[in-house]
Structure 1
Amino acid sequence: MTAEPEPAIANPEQQLAWEKRHRQRAGIAALVGALGLLAFYVLQQVLQRDMPKVSGLETLVRAAKPGDVGALPSLQNAFFEYLDTKTVLVILIGLGGFIGWLGVAWCVGFLGVATRSRLPVFRRFIIYVPIVGGVVLGISVLMSQLGSLQVVSEYLDSNRTVQAATDADNGLIVYARLLYQLGTLLLAVGLVLVALNAMRVGLLTRMLGYIGIASGAMMVLFPLPIVQIFWLGALGFVLLGRWPGGDLPAWATGDAVPWPTPERPPPRQRRGAPAATPAAESGPAPARRKRKKRN
């Protein structure tokens, strides 16, 4: 026996009323999330722009010298001192990522609920995959930034040797890395599944559906933040009913109304084939008159 799909929402009017109450909030969450992620990535570039860098050649020269290298003054002193002066910026980066990924979790979770009400085979547990992934990812980003500030403080209070720089790590950062990997995987899978099925039922245009699928896959294969930010902002306009061309029919009916596909043009005639003749008009052909012979 095969498992039967879960039934869709029995009362479409009740589902539409629920969506009407929460749709605007989800749209605002999407736009705020897009701004949060934009701030997260832009501020990261600002932080790294003036960050001191250590010459690899100088590191090799010091490593080749005899004696205990760990007791030498660390070449990372300028790096840690720089981060110590950028405490506010580091915290803003963490808050931007935290708010951004929470916004993703909120709006994609809402889109998953709306999709399930129109698609019986869409399982309930899929709704929670992007929600959990986005929350875990946001927490991991904030934990990582706070942990880095703690590491900077501990290093500057130490003897600032090579050994101290090598040991500059703590449990908060290690735990944040594990959460980041888990959250990224869950959110990527959730984005792909929700965007694909939302496109099938007509809650997203085909363009937004494919971009959503691509943004989820890129989180694992090759991160390209601008794709997630663009898709999140576009989803916000869809949820707020501000998408160019008007609201999609599936949002108003409560049923699956797939986005229409462009009609295929008729196949071209093969070269060398005889041209099609127009259909003959109905009715008998007129009789030909006979000419009289002249003597």
Structure 2
Amino acid sequence: MITKNEILEREKRWTLIAGIASVMGVAIILATYGESSAAVRAASGFADRLREIDGDHSSLIMASIGQFVGWSLLAVPLVFLFRAAAARAPQVRGALVGVMVIAPVLIGLGSIISAGSIIEAASDFEKEADQAAITKCVSDKVADESDSASGDESAGQTGTTGDSGTTGGSGGSVSEQQRSDFEQECEDDEARDVRAATSLAPLETGVGLAGLLGFTVAVIYVSLWSMRTGLLSRFWGSLGIALGVVFAFFTLFTLIWFIYVGLLLAGWVPGGRPPAWGAGEAVPWPKPGDPSPDEGVIEGTAEELPPDDPSNIGTFGDDPQGELRKRKKRN
């Protein structure tokens, strides 16, 4: 059984390292996001980005390596918080420490695999893109836009008769800008189809999904037990649980939570760390409505008087007049 002194000594060695790793991990993730595979997939001109990457994909590779390093660094604060909570609460399941390590590493690894998939798609796009499908897609969009414009023009006319049937031709045309937009949309759709058909696409999906689910569990579990043992305040513990649940949709906010955790561990938060860090044991937060430990305590000094001291007679509300009245009534 590990003693309190051993817990405090171990945490003293690793607290600053875990805090710096948390802040640096988030900084690297945000700094390399712009050229990463995630940003490329979200780009509106995906086909043009594939052409650029086919010419030079060094920036994509470097950004993906940065993403891997950044996400892997977040395993340090997760493991540190997990072990700190486990040392204070035997209910923490020690076997889950593997999730704290593997989940962020899988997310970073998924970024590298995704980059490989995009590079493969960039090489195949110009050779394997179905130009006939792109042309048909553009024609369909132009026809739909022409029909929509013709319908709007017909609906705007008021009950005239005669030559009105010959006015639909002018409304059926599309501008050059519209046609260019249609071509871009159709090319992007075809580019995404090419990327989905690459050999690395299934592996990317599997690794990414495993990392996503694992990281969600890791953040929720660590936040819950860090709050229960008093390592995190109720606010930041509850916020960590909520952000873990919606991690896939609000990744940026979860990263901001890691910045706070890093600053807390490094001792750079005003007010310092919660009492549980210095106690070496769980110091649960009082439940809402529970009395404060100091409630009812009056500050100051006092001296106890002996009960048989004659000087104490009459000092606690004794009423001689009341005794005299009682004697008269008895008589």
Task: Compute the displacement of 1:97 (Å).
Answer: 2.4
Matched, 1:13 2:5: yes
The one of 246, 250, 253 aligned to 1:218: 246
Q: How many residues are matched?
A: 238
The one of 104, 112, 122 aligned to 2:74: 104
- The match for 2:206 is 178
Larger Rg computed on CA atoms: 2
State the alpha-carbon separation in 2 of the partners of residues 151 and 116 from structure 1.
46
Superposed CA RMSD: 3.0
Q: What one-letter code is carried by the residue in structure 2 that aligns with 1:197?
A: W
Q: What one-letter code is carried by the residue in structure 2 that aligns with 1:107?
A: P
Q: Deviations over 1:206-244 (max 9, x none)?
A: 121112111210125xx1122111110001011112221
State the alpha-carbon separation in 2 of the partners of residues 167 and 247 from structure 1.
51
Task: Compute the displacement of 1:18 (Å).
Answer: 1.7
Q: What one-letter code is carried by the residue in structure 1 that aligns with 2:106?
A: V
Q: What one-letter code is carried by the residue in structure 1 that aligns with 2:13?
A: R
Matched, 1:24 2:52: no
State the alpha-carbon separation in 2 of the partners of residues 191 and 117 from structure 1.
18
- Preserved contact between residue 263 and residue 269 of structure 2 (Cα < 8 Å): yes
- Preserved contact between residue 38 and residue 229 of structure 1 (Cα < 8 Å): no
- The match for 1:232 is 258
State the alpha-carbon separation in 2 of the partners of residues 93 and 286 from structure 1.
94
Secondary structure at the residue paired with 1:259?
coil
Secondary structure at the residue paired with 2:109?
helix
Q: What one-letter code is carried by the residue in structure 1 that aligns with 2:201?
A: I
Task: Compute the displacement of 1:199 (Å).
Answer: 0.8
State the alpha-carbon separation in 2 of the partners of residues 247 and 79 from structure 1.
46
The one of 215, 221, 227 aligned to 1:187: 215
- The match for 1:197 is 225
Secondary structure at the residue paired with 1:170?
coil
- The match for 2:122 is 152
Q: What one-letter code is carried by the residue in structure 2 that aligns with 1:30?
A: S
State the alpha-carbon separation in 2 of the partners of residues 48 and 189 from structure 1.
26
- Preserved contact between residue 121 and residue 194 of structure 2 (Cα < 8 Å): no
Note the residue ranges of structure 1 that are not aligned, 5 or more in a row: 1-8, 54-75, 266-280, 288-295
Task: Compute the displacement of 1:49 (Å).
Answer: 8.6
The one of 140, 143, 146 aligned to 2:110: 140
Q: What one-letter code is carried by the residue in structure 2 that aligns with 1:178?
A: G
Task: Compute the displacement of 1:34 (Å).
Answer: 1.2
Task: Compute the displacement of 1:139 (Å).
Answer: 0.7
Matched, 1:241 2:267: yes
- Preserved contact between residue 118 and residue 201 of structure 1 (Cα < 8 Å): yes
Task: Compute the displacement of 1:172 (Å).
Answer: 2.2
State the alpha-carbon separation in 2 of the partners of residues 136 and 159 from structure 1.
31
Task: Compute the displacement of 1:264 (Å).
Answer: 6.8
- Preserved contact between residue 131 and residue 187 of structure 1 (Cα < 8 Å): no
State the alpha-carbon separation in 2 of the partners of residues 89 and 286 from structure 1.
99
Q: What one-letter code is carried by the residue in structure 2 that aligns with 1:184?
A: L
Secondary structure at the residue paired with 1:238?
helix
> Equivalent residues in 2 for 1:159-170 (5 A)?
160-162=129-131, 166-168=193-195, 169-170=197-198
- Preserved contact between residue 126 and residue 193 of structure 1 (Cα < 8 Å): no
Matched, 1:52 2:42: no
Q: Which TM-score applies when normalising by structure 1?
A: 0.70
CA distance 1:49–1:185, shift in 2 (3 Å): closer
Q: Which TM-score applies when normalising by structure 2?
A: 0.63
More helix by share: 2
State the alpha-carbon separation in 2 of the partners of residues 41 and 159 from structure 1.
29
- Preserved contact between residue 115 and residue 197 of structure 1 (Cα < 8 Å): yes
State the alpha-carbon separation in 2 of the partners of residues 159 and 121 from structure 1.
56
- Preserved contact between residue 50 and residue 118 of structure 2 (Cα < 8 Å): no
Task: Compute the displacement of 1:283 (Å).
Answer: 5.8
Secondary structure at the residue paired with 2:285?
coil
Note the residue ranges of structure 2 that are not aligned, 5 or more in a row: 134-189, 292-315, 323-331
